[in-house]
């Protein structure tokens, strides 16, 4: 058995890069999960919801959005082998964002982009960064946004170290929990690190939990119960692009109260529907955005009147700038849109996390 | 023949959107070409170069990067049908950027994003924007960046107009000509309008001609001769990411002098190699960038000493910001990178175009 593993390891190393030896990633800390009670490691919803949640919601919960592996190495080269569940493609998002990887390195306390893992399909192998000086470094590896990683191995030079991180960054106590739509799930970042929850995780140096479900932020109450299990510093509820006016009227306050009942003091931020860039022309979309924003404003004011504390409502006015250029299709943010959104959210969250 | 065309037209209209009627785009002005002597309409190099240029360069010349159609319509909905030559895919760029379309509309003298045409494959059909008020509008439709459009039809409501533009914007006299690499060709913009030459075309309201050839900006002298045929307001030579130190030493001054000989006064801007974001870690890339930038600086200083006028060298220091986030893979710009690059180039070009 040991011999077989050794031979296998050598074969793996020889197959692409003479120096790279691959190590299963299971042993390393994984950030971004609301719960560890998942069916497999790199997914987001607890196994208990498989028979409870609507099927599309459950399936999206198996995407790895917001998950990130922490490790330390002195290797001159970092590679990865990974497999994804669905081998999904979309015409408005890069395969690297959908099913790739994204590596950041800690430099003077800040996370700096080091390289992306560009996928080939279901089974993937990539050299992410190479030709580095052989120094000890702390790494953060973001996983696929719109597919589910089913296996992951990290490749390092055969004579180098691959160790547990020795720096506790991003801070894992009191994470920030985000609930939302396709945009929140990272559609359409060019690479996983550019989803705004991942940008904010780096800027805040605080763990962020991404509960974005493309087309399915419909205020399902079991998700509120999952959110309520997290001892968070702040909850961000960003469901307007999906939830209808009727769904909001019926369930937004209930969804909120499930979270609030377990966290009487924690700040909860509601976010208005973005002013979608094509809504300057598409009058139906413009009317829908207006109706939804009026609805959330009414719900918010009603809660305030009832005496709810520590609730906030973010106006969508400045979320993605005013030049109309921040999306790929009018709706889904590009890296430009995510960067602008992160810049708006950062100060709001920063002042609430202790 | 007429009956057949009519039936075909009706079938096309009925096939997707009850109201849309498609019209071949051949009759409408096309911006972004250095020459009209091309094999087919939506490509960039003159037919005469087919037997002259290296094959990869010739093939890339058949990509539609920087080409844009101008038209006017009062339709409430704009659609397109288009076919591409190669049906290309890349794992670090969206299909919409590679082989899609991108529509802008003139609003108070400024070009505003209206919607993108998301592709299905080789043969494509998309509703780009809908639910508009039925007002006369001027449109600019950017073509695919990394594939060649071989046919294009514009769809409008059956009872609406589709006319020649009545506003001469972007201005076509004295265009700006850009020569460069994969980055210049638009790799990896999320949609065609976000290539920086297209952003600048809108901001300057001046036609921009994109002679970007992925991996092939190797200072081929026949491209200098093509560039020299354009009565430009400015030439931007942005070849460093591809050309080697040796190629630059051998051919950069010759390439320049071919353009200069026909345009004794026109400003010519050389651009340094970008500080690729992964070069903080990849020492080989960092050394290469440094060597190339020293080479172009030496060539530039030598030309200055010889008395060359109206030449400029753009430092790469601030081209894509300093946070390391502007690329998808360390090299190729995302919309965030292109926006930052356009912001740096805009004032430099603005002051030289009359």
| pLDDT tens digit sequence for B102-151 | 999 999 999 999 999 999 999 999 999 999 999 999 999 999 999 999 99
Low-confidence ranges of chain A (pLDDT < 50): 1-17
Integer CA distances (angstroms), B181 to A114, A166, B138, B293, in order: 22, 42, 31, 16
User: Is the pLDDT higher at B9 or at A275?
Assistant: A275
Q: How far apart are CA B177 and CA B234, in angstroms?
A: 6
- Label the pairing between strands B171-180 and B110-117: unpaired
pLDDT tier at B354, thresholds 50, 70, 90 = confident
pLDDT in tens, B259-279: 999 999 999 999 999 999 999
Q: Specify the range with the lowest mean pLDDT, choosing from A323-332, B3-12, B325-334.
A: B3-12
Asked if CATH classification 3.40.50.720 holds for the domain at B2-31+63-163, the reply, yes or no, is no
pLDDT reported for residue A286: 96
Q: Which residues pair with A138 in a beta bridge?
A: A72
Exposure string over A61-91, b if 16+ CB within 10 A, otherwise e: bbbbbbbbbbbbbbbbbbbbbbbbbbbbebb
pLDDT of residue A134: 96
Portions of chain B given CATH number 3.40.50.1110: 171-350
Q: Give the pair of three-digit tokens for residue A14.
A: 């020889």
Express each pLDDT in A70-126 by its tens digit: 999 999 999 999 999 999 999 999 999 999 999 999 999 999 999 999 999 999 999
Using CB atoms, which residue from A129, A281, A283 is nearest to B114? Answer: A281
Write down the pLDDT at residue A7: 38
Query: Å from B350 to nearest chain A CA?
Result: 19
**pLDDT value, residue B3:** 37
| pLDDT at residue A18 in the model | 52
Interface test mutation site (partner B, options A334, A337, A338, A342, max chain B beta carbons within 10 A):
A334
Instruction: Indicate whether B11 pLDDT > 50.
Output: no
pLDDT tens for each residue of A292-331: 999 999 999 999 999 999 999 999 999 999 999 999 999 9
Q: Are B242 and B217 in contact (CB under 8 A)?
A: yes
Q: Which residues of B touch A285 (CB under 8 A)?
A: 131
ipTM (interface predicted TM): 0.94
Domain with CATH 2.60.120.260 in chain B: 2-31+63-163
- How far apart CA B102 and CA A134 sit, in angstroms, is 45
- Topology at the third CATH level for domain A16-163: Jelly Rolls (2.60.120)
Residues B129 and A279 sit within 8 Å (Cβ to Cβ): no
Does B95 sit within 8 Å of A91, measured CB to CB? Answer: yes
Tell me the CATH class for A171-350: alpha beta
Question: Residue A133's CB: how many other CB atoms inside 10 A?
Answer: 9
B320 near B332, Cβ under 8 Å?
Answer: no
Total residues belonging to chain B:
354
Mutate to test the interface with B, among A290, A328, A338, A342 (most CBs of B within 10 A): A328
Of A113, A284, A328, the CB nearest to B116: A328
The pLDDT score that the predictor gives to residue A353 is 87
pLDDT at B18 over 70: no
pLDDT at A2: 36
Which residue is closest to A91 within chain B, CA to CA? B95
* Dist CA B354 CA B352 (whole Å): 6
């Amino acid at each position: 058995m040991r011999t077989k593993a050794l031979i296998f390891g050598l074969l793996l190393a020889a197959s692409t890069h003479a120096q790279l030896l691959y190590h299963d990633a299971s042993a390393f800390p994984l950030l971004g999960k609301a719960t560890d009670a998942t069916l497999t490691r790199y997914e987001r919803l607890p196994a208990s919801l498989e028979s409870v949640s609507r099927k599309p919601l459950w399936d999206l919960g198996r995407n790895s959005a917001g998950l990130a592996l922490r490790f330390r190495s002195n290797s001159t080269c970092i590679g990865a082998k990974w497999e994804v569940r669905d081998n999904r493609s979309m015409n408005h998002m890069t395969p690297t964002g959908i099913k790739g990887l994204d590596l950041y390195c800690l430099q003077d306390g800040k996370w700096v982009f080091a390289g992306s893992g560009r996928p080939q399909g279901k089974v993937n192998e990539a050299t992410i960064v190479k030709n580095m000086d052989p120094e000890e470094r702390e790494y953060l590896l973001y996983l696929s946004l719109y597919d589910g990683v089913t296996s992951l191995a990290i490749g390092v030079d055969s004579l180098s170290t691959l160790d547990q991180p020795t720096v506790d960054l991003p801070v894992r106590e009191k994470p920030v929990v985000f609930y939302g739509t396709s945009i929140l799930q990272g559609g359409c970042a060019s690479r996983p690190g550019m989803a705004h929850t991942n940008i904010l995780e780096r800027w805040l140096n605080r763990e962020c939990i991404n509960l974005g479900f493309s087309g399915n932020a419909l205020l399902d109450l079991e998700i509120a119960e999952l959110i309520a299990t997290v001892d968070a510093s702040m909850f961000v509820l960003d469901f307007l692009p999906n939830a209808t006016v009727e769904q909001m009227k019926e369930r937004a306050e209930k969804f909120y109260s499930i979270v609030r009942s377990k966290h009487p003091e924690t700040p909860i931020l509601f976010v208005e529907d973005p002013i979608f860039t094509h809504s300057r022309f598409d009058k139906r979309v413009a009317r829908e955005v207006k109706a939804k924003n009026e609805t959330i404003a009414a719900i918010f004011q009603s809660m305030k009147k009832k005496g709810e504390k520590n609730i906030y409502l973010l106006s969508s006015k400045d979320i993605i700038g005013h030049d109309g250029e921040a999306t790929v299709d009018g709706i889904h943010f590009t890296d430009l849109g995510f960067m602008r959104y992160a810049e708006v959210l950062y100060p709001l969250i920063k002042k609430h996390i202790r």
